[in-house]
Structure 1
């Protein structure tokens, strides 16, 4: 469902780079955490356009072993989306969650 190659927005990339500087977590791991933080927070993508143009990586690098789970959560949250829009929804959740996480100054602060 999600494409083989994926990117995130400039805003998310910059926020996740700050998180990496503070905690040592790489941008792709930060993106996974951001996605799940956004889902947990209850954020809902309203269909607005989002520019996903930073850091092209393959789907497995972005999602790791959680690819099937991410896709299932997106299908559950947005059952009537067209296939091409799931990528935008994922990017929007990463965008939302990145701002939740960027202010974390340590791994213990991130977990607490």
Structure 2
């Protein structure tokens, strides 16, 4: 099975702007918001769409993004890939899940 090899996660300008807005509203750091976003997207149960990276925003390194829970997030992604028979490469799928989940975060419900 594929292993997660990405070292830095590149965000689209739109996702970066949403992360900034969510941080201002919630006080949560972008890495914590991305962890929540990832989980919300995985819960959706469908393959996330491709990302328009025409305009790029911030980058977050992998350790900052997942921290000591990297093994858990990687395992969750691998199980999701098996369950939904995804053929998308694991690094791309991880980034897609984070990007799809960012707009799913509703600061009024946190």
TM-score, normalised via structure 1 length: 0.75
How many residues align? The count is: 103
Alignment of 1:32-111 (within 5 A): 32-45=35-48, 48=50, 50-51=52-53, 53-79=56-82, 81=87, 85-101=89-105, 103-105=106-108, 109-110=109-110
- Whether contact under 8 Å (1:34, 1:100) holds in the other structure is yes
Query: Aligned equivalents of 1:45 and 1:96: distance in 2?
Result: 6
Query: Aligned equivalents of 1:81 and 1:54: distance in 2?
Result: 27
Structure 2 residue ranges without an equivalent (≥5): none
Note the aligned Cα RMSD (angstroms): 2.2
TM-score, normalised via structure 2 length: 0.77
Q: Does 1:22 align with 2:9?
A: no
Select between 10-19 and 22-31 the one with higher mean Cα deviation: 10-19
